[in-house]
Structure 1
Amino acid sequence: MKITKIEVQKKNNDRVNIFIDDDFAFSCSTELVYYHNLKSGKSAELSEIQKIVDEDNYIKCKNSALKYIEKAYKTEKQITEKLIDKEYPENAIKRTIEFLKEYKFIDDYNFLKIYIRENCTKLGKKKIKYNLLRKGIEEALIDVELDGVSSSFEEKSCEKLAQKKYDSLKNSDTSYMKVYKKLGDFLLRNGYSSDIVSETLKRVVAKEDFKAEGNEERKHNSYEELFILAQKRYNLLISKEKDKMKLLKKLYDYLIRRGYSYEEVKTVVKELINTD
């Protein structure tokens, strides 16, 4: 086999098309042409061609990864998944990841510390852990770093976030219970535990900030209605969840999300369990 033609691509001057025995064979970067001393009339062995193709795939894969991390720090898993989606060969991806690690473009432990530092004022530990696990960070590493975030700091962060959200909600909704529920759901979605959310709602949401509620809402708040609601949910959960502690937590979370206070839920659940 003999290289019969090397031409620069029209849309990309950094790449060339290689023709062997007058037929198109492959394309590669111009730097590989110089590196392998490719020129018209030179004999080309199959093994040499494969080596060039592999090297070209690696260069493209590496450049793609570097472009991906230009705007934001990424984990090894995120970059690997991105390169797989782009259908780069396994060997090219492996070499790229090794390169990125060697030159500190990838450092999952450093990513972990930065992520916690940047998000611990707006997300609870549960949401932070969930997000980091999805990004491929080891659970043991996450737990160690999250232990450094004190409970008091998380509580203060939750309250600050809640106050900001509360000020927005109460200006757009005149219903105490609706605001209470919306704010509770918002904080739970952001990864704060039901205990922290409950205590935060007590400190932030004030009934005097709202007009008197109508008969329908007072009925919603009635002890009897709460008990019936709790009983229905309890009967549904007990058929699926055998662990009592998990069952009670799910029941508490459900009722709090419906807008009831922690103390109201605690009283009803206690009676419900005693009568079961």
Structure 2
Amino acid sequence: MKKITRITTQKKNKNRFNIFLDDGHGESYGFSVDEALLVEYRLRKGLELEDSMVDTLIQKDTVHKSYTQAIHFLSYRMRTKKEIRDYLDKKEVEPEQVEQIMDRLEKEKLVDDRQFAEMFVLTRISTSSKGPSLIKKELMEKGVAASIAQEAVEQYPYEEQYDKVRKLIEKKLSQKKKDSFRKQVQNMQASLMQKGFSQDVIKDALSGIQEEKDDDSEWEALVYQGEKLLRKHERKHEGYALMNKVKEGLFRKGFPMDEIQKFLESRE
């Protein structure tokens, strides 16, 4: 049996208290507790504690400190269950204590993967150019279940996806390129797929895109690529063979055959 002889407030943390004990051989530091435990167990000078109770208080305080760390981690932004578990593991919290902390956080509704996923999707919609598939992938990487992630991204309106894709297309087309229009469209399709948009919304957004083709820019790109191909092949080929190599190269790059023929005729 040990008796509490003194309780002092810690200098660096006014919400924590040092407990001093006397086991019959004089006073010595026993342990420290948070204010919540001090109140819950009514710790006071003169109170006698069994060794088992001292062990219980130390264990509960350890859990409480880890819980407080988790709360601090949550204070910056919402977190998934996996993110919190990973954080506690990094802090070397015992697995059994991690479960206690997670149970408490869930009961207090401080962690909710479904709510996290919904808020995450809304944030991505308003602050990024990412599509549903990529957002779902991000959620799953954060530990959100696939079914919950799918439900969340289904809240991404098709109209907003379409508008976002159209803006990305217009931005790409406004940039001067040395590629054929067809090649630019193919590159845009690949880029939009990588950003997580579906083939359906990409197809709809690209419908009528041919009307935005700039013939002057297309010709400039063809001449640039054609001259480049001429320089590449003229060391080994000449005449018909050279023109044929250039023709094949330009066609693979997506230029229309009538424009290619026009270029070749201008170089004969």
Match of 2:139 in 1: 132
Q: Could you list the per-position Cα deviations for residues 50-73 of structure 1 after superposition, in whole angstroms to 9, with x for gaps in the alignment?
A: 221222233323333333333422
How far apart are the structure 2 equivalents of 1:42 and 1:151? Answer: 66
Deviates further, 186-195 or 24-33: 186-195
Structure 1: unaligned runs, 5 residues or longer: 229-259, 264-276
Match of 2:16 in 1: 15
The aligned amino acid for 2:179 is M
Q: Is the Cα contact below 8 Å between 2:7 and 2:18 reproduced in 1? A: yes
Distance of aligned partners of 1:149 and 1:43 in 2 relative to their CA distance in 1, 3 Å threshold: closer
Question: Alignment partner for residue 25 of structure 1, among 30, 35, 40?
Answer: 30
Map 1:158-173 → 2, pairs under 5 A: 158-164=165-171, 167=174, 170=175
1:217 and 2:217 equivalent? no
Q: Could you list the per-position Cα deviations for residues 141-197 of structure 1 after superposition, in whole angstroms to 9, with x for gaps in the alignment?
A: 333454565766534432233434655xx2xxx434399488667534422357765
Distance of aligned partners of 1:165 and 1:9 in 2 relative to their CA distance in 1, 3 Å threshold: farther
Distance of aligned partners of 1:149 and 1:42 in 2 relative to their CA distance in 1, 3 Å threshold: closer
How far apart are the structure 1 equivalents of 2:202 and 2:250? Answer: 19
How far apart are the structure 1 equivalents of 2:250 and 2:20? Answer: 79
Taking structure 2 as the reference length, what is the TM-score of the superposition? 0.64
- Deviation of 1:16 after TM superposition, in Å, equals 1.8
Q: Could you list the per-position Cα deviations for residues 14-33 of structure 1 after superposition, in whole angstroms to 9, with x for gaps in the alignment?
A: 11223334443322213323
Match of 1:141 in 2: 148
Task: Count matched residues.
Answer: 226
Map 1:1-276 → 2, pairs under 5 A: 1-2=1-2, 3-21=4-22, 22-120=27-125, 122-147=129-154, 149=156, 154-164=161-171, 167=174, 170=175, 174-177=176-179, 180=184, 187-193=192-198, 203=209, 206-208=213-215, 210=217, 212-213=220-221, 217-218=225-226, 224-225=248-249
Distance of aligned partners of 1:157 and 1:43 in 2 relative to their CA distance in 1, 3 Å threshold: same
How far apart are the structure 1 equivalents of 2:155 and 2:40? Answer: 51
The aligned amino acid for 1:98 is D
Q: Secondary structure in 2 aligned to 1:18?
A: strand
Provide the aligned C-alpha RMSD in A.
Answer: 4.0
Q: Secondary structure in 1 aligned to 2:37?
A: helix
Distance of aligned partners of 1:62 and 1:216 in 2 relative to their CA distance in 1, 3 Å threshold: same
Q: Is the Cα contact below 8 Å between 1:57 and 1:89 reproduced in 2? A: no
The aligned amino acid for 1:36 is Y
Which has the greater radius of gyration?
2
Q: Secondary structure in 2 aligned to 1:17?
A: strand
Q: Could you list the per-position Cα deviations for residues 1-23 of structure 1 after superposition, in whole angstroms to 9, with x for gaps in the alignment?
A: 53444322111111122333444
How far apart are the structure 1 equivalents of 2:204 and 2:75? Answer: 42
Match of 2:236 in 1: none
How far apart are the structure 2 equivalents of 1:50 and 1:226? Answer: 80
How far apart are the structure 2 equivalents of 1:81 and 1:136? Answer: 10
How far apart are the structure 1 equivalents of 2:177 and 2:172? Answer: 15
Q: Secondary structure in 2 aligned to 1:26?
A: strand
The aligned amino acid for 1:102 is K
Distance of aligned partners of 1:102 and 1:85 in 2 relative to their CA distance in 1, 3 Å threshold: same
Q: Is the Cα contact below 8 Å between 1:8 and 1:15 reproduced in 2? A: yes
